[in-house]
């Protein structure tokens, strides 16, 4: 869609944010879940998406995940890094992202089957 194909071999051409902030775990245990919709809302607030059709997108804004569901974490350990260029809504975005992680005492048990059914032949 009109992007610079050179970024495939030269990722340093991609826009990067000037600032970053680590979101840390509020407790110790296992990451049992995450509210991904809230991650998206927080990034949009920081300019990484549109709140209104007229809004410009800041392509340097992003979220770098350090932990996944099922990972063991300690209180204060970084879960993610927010990359941003404006402090305007940072506090609100930080709170959304921090509140989007669920930490429990036990590792989550994924009881969903890997293959639900085989179709065909």
What tens digit of pLDDT does each residue of 37-81 get? 999 999 999 999 998 899 999 999 999 999 999 999 999 999 999
Give the C-alpha separation, 37 to 81, whole Å.
17
Closest CA to 23 of 60, 59, 73: 73
Give the C-alpha separation, 102 to 31, whole Å.
6
The per-residue pLDDT of the chain, averaged, comes to 92
Q: Could you tell me the domains of the chain?
A: 14-104 (3.90.1170.30)
- With a pLDDT cut of 90, the percent of the chain lying above it is 77
C-beta separation of 33 from 20 below 8 A:
no
Closest CA to 64 of 17, 99, 104, 28: 17
Beta carbons within 8 Å of 16's beta carbon, 6+ residues apart: 60, 83
pTM: 0.79
Give the C-alpha separation, 78 to 99, whole Å.
14
The C-alpha angle 70, 47, 73, rounded to 5 degrees, equals 20
Q: Is the pLDDT of residue 92 over 90?
A: yes
Q: Report residue 121's pLDDT band, with 50, 70 and 90 as the boundaries.
A: low
């Amino acid at each position: 869609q009109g992007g610079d194909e050179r970024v495939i071999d030269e990722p340093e051409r991609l826009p990067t944010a000037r600032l970053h902030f680590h979101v840390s775990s509020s407790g110790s245990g296992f990451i049992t879940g995450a509210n991904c919709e809230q991650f998206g809302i927080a990034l949009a607030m920081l300019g990484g998406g549109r709140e209104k059709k007229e809004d410009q997108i800041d392509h340097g804004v992003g979220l770098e995940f350090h932990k996944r569901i099922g990972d063991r974490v300690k209180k204060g350990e970084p879960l993610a890094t927010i990359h941003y260029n404006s402090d305007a809504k940072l506090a609100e975005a930080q709170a959304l992202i921090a509140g989007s992680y669920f930490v429990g005492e036990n590792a989550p048990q994924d009881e969903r089957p890997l293959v639900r059914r085989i179709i065909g032949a």
